[in-house]
Copies of this chain bind each other. A is one copy, B any other.
Amino acid sequence: MKNLLVAQSGGPTAAINASLAGVIFGALKETSIDKIYGAVYGIEGVLSDTLVELGTIDLEILKQTPAAYLGSCRKKLPNLSDNPKLYQQIFSYFQEKNIGYFLYIGGNDSMDTVCKLSDYAKEHNIDVKIIGIPKTIDNDLAYTDHTPGFGSAAKYVATTVAEIAEDSMVYDLKSVTIVEIMGRHAGWLTGAAVLARNGTRSAPHLIYLPEVSFSKEQFVRDIEALFDKGIHQVVVAVSEGIHDKNGTLICEGGTSATDSFGHAMLSGAGKALENLVKAELGCKARSVELNVCQRCAGHLLSQTDSSEAFSIGESGVACAVAGQSGEMMTFVRISDNPYKVKIESADIHKSANVEKCVPTEWIINGNDVGEELLSYLKPLIAGEVKIQYNENGLPKHLYR
């Protein structure tokens, strides 16, 4: 009997704990698995010997708890040749703890860790099966139809944009409301704002994704065209990562700091456009940055997303127990309507460090998205999770 170790890495989502619950559920079923450990703060917990046992926690409450129950990290492993001792340390720790299976739930950078560790294990004939469970609200992982966490974030974005649209229409005056949505290079989540439209409500009227370049002059003309058509309360969905044709970000100042992965830390595209509208059009303008709320709104989960996140975690365990390693679990879509997916896995070398963006042919005129994206998105936000609340009127969360 071997033990299973699971950890979470990268940015929080509202469904990453559902995948953790799925891993625990799957591991509890496997007679070949003894203890179920969680590493606290991702791979850092392995390096610092900080494990918790997970075999008896409340999986139902875990599933509705946002962010990362085990804590997370943004550590990127060095290349083997740069620090072989680190790899030796990790695998001797695995040996010490009798770890036979290591499941890492995370995004692009976390899949890089899965790739490096599984390569090392294979090269050194170490019998630890290492599997990646995808997770990111950005939906930018390749070789999977979509990522767990994205559907709930998309449901939050669509619902909130619909509500903000209601709010924007209460006064009889010209106004522009700009909603800034997360997504550095991939516009999936910003595109999900399109779901707020229905037969009666045409908001959001304009949608700008980071896959195509953004022109401030065209943006002003786009709004003027709507005013001319009699649409006086304009709602705009805009990605934090919009940039001009030279690649310069539209956020205030046009520059930004970078995080430890060299990713730009963005803020302020919405605020910059709000100021632009005030200066150029002289009408009421405001911006709403959905900020971290879009990735941690556990009270508004997509049923589809939550149950898929659970299933892909459970399947990851089965995949590892079946002897696979160096794989990322994936969703393969069979049909949009009725919505059908199956869970498979893909070689981690293919999927790690590849960023999947919205196809530019799904983007219309640089300021809208097409039916293809709508058909893709619709099933991912379907259904509501019945959240358990405590007696004080707040959703129940599970604490480590």
User: Count of chain A residues with Cβ under 8 Å from any Cβ of B?
Assistant: 59
Interface string of A263-306 (1 = CB under 8 A from B): 00000000000000000000000101111110111111010000
Q: Choose one: B12, B289, B392; the contact of A166 (CB below 8 Å).
A: B12
Q: Is A200 an interface residue (CB 8 A)?
A: yes
Does A389 make an interface contact (CB < 8 A)?
Answer: yes
Instruction: Encode contact with B along A158-171: 1 for CB under 8 Å, 0 otherwise.
Output: 11101110110111
Residue A349 at the chain B interface, CB threshold 8 Å: no
Determine whether the beta carbon of B67 is less than 8 Å from that of A167. yes
Check A293–B71 contact: CB distance below 8 A. no
Docked-complex contact A67 and B296, CB < 8 angstroms: no
Determine whether A399 belongs to the interface, using a CB cutoff of 8 Å to chain B.
yes
Enumerate chain A interface residues (CB-CB to B < 8 A). 8, 12, 41, 44, 65-68, 71-74, 155, 158-160, 162-164, 166-167, 169-172, 195-196, 198, 200-201, 286, 288-293, 295-300, 302, 378, 381-384, 387, 389-395, 397, 399
| B167 engages A296 (CB within 8 Å) | yes
The CA-CA distance from A65 to B163 in the complex, in Å, is: 8
B residues within 8 A CB of A381? 392-394
Bound CA span A252–B201, Å: 35
CB-CB under 8 A from A171, the residues of chain B are 41, 71-74
Is A384 within 8 A of B378, CB to CB? no
Q: How far is the CA of A383 from the CA of B392 in the complex (A)?
A: 8
Extra contacts, 18 of them, besides A8-B170, A41-B172, A73-B171 (Cβ < 8 A), are A41-B171, A68-B170, A71-B172, A72-B170, A155-B393, A159-B394, A163-B297, A163-B299, A167-B292, A201-B397, A288-B289, A288-B293, A289-B291, A381-B392, A381-B393, A381-B394, A382-B391, A382-B392
